[in-house]
Amino acid sequence: MFRQIPITRLIIPLILAYAFAWLTFSNEKVFWYFYTFTALFLMSLAYYSIKIEDELKTFHYFILSIAFGALTYALLFIGFKLVDLAPFMSTKSINSFVNKFGPSSIWHYLLLLFIIAPGEELFWRGYIQQQLKKYLPPVFAIIVGAALFGLSFVFSGFWLGILAAFVVGLVFGFLYEWKKVCH
C-alpha cells in the first residue's frame, strides 16, 4: 500500500517549494516579487512534469472556479468569525498578517488571481498530490498534500494561516480528485 517515495520526483520539488517559501516570507518589502516568482517557478515545474488533460469546457471551469472561490471565501470568513468569537483567541494575528503581507494594490490582486493561485493549485494539487497518489491511497494523498501545502506557510509565523491553508488544501484536494483535471 505505501511504497518508497523517490527523491527526485517528490522530495526535491518540496525542498525547493519550502526554500522559496522561506525566501518569500523572509522580507516583506520584496514579498510580492518573491511570491510571484515562487508561483511561476512551481507552476512551470508542475507544467513540465505532468500531463494536463483538459476535460471540461472553459466556461464550465469558469463557473466552477467562481463557485469554489466563493465557498473558500465563505469558509475563511466563517473561520475568521469563529476566531473572533472564541474567548481564548484573537483576530489580532490575522490583522497583523494581512497588514504585513496582504494585497495593497490592484496589481497584487491581479497577481493572486492570474499567477499565484493558479500556480499554487497546479503545483500542490496537480503535481504534489498526484505524486503522492502513486504511493498512497487517494484520500491519504489529499490529506498529506493539504498538510504539506499548509506547512508551506510555516515561515510566515502565522499559525492560523497554516490551519487555513490546510483546510483550503483539503477542499481543493477533494475538488481536484472529483474533477480529475490532471493525471
Residue-averaged pLDDT of the chain: 85
Check pLDDT > 80 for residue 55: no
> 10 Å Cβ neighbour count for 103?
14
End-to-end CA distance of the chain: 20
Of 43-47, 60-64, 106-110, minimum mean pLDDT range: 60-64
Residue 179: pLDDT band (50, 70, 90) is: confident
Q: Check: CB of residue 100 under 8 Å from CB of residue 22.
A: no
* C-alpha–C-alpha distance, residues 10 and 143, integer Å: 16
Q: Is 66 exposed, middle or buried (0-12, 13-18, 19+ CB in 10 A)?
A: exposed
* C-alpha–C-alpha distance, residues 43 and 54, integer Å: 16
pLDDT in tens, 103-156: 899 999 889 888 998 899 889 998 999 999 988 999 999 999 999 999 999 999
% pLDDT > 70, the chain? 86
Return the pLDDT at 3. Answer: 56
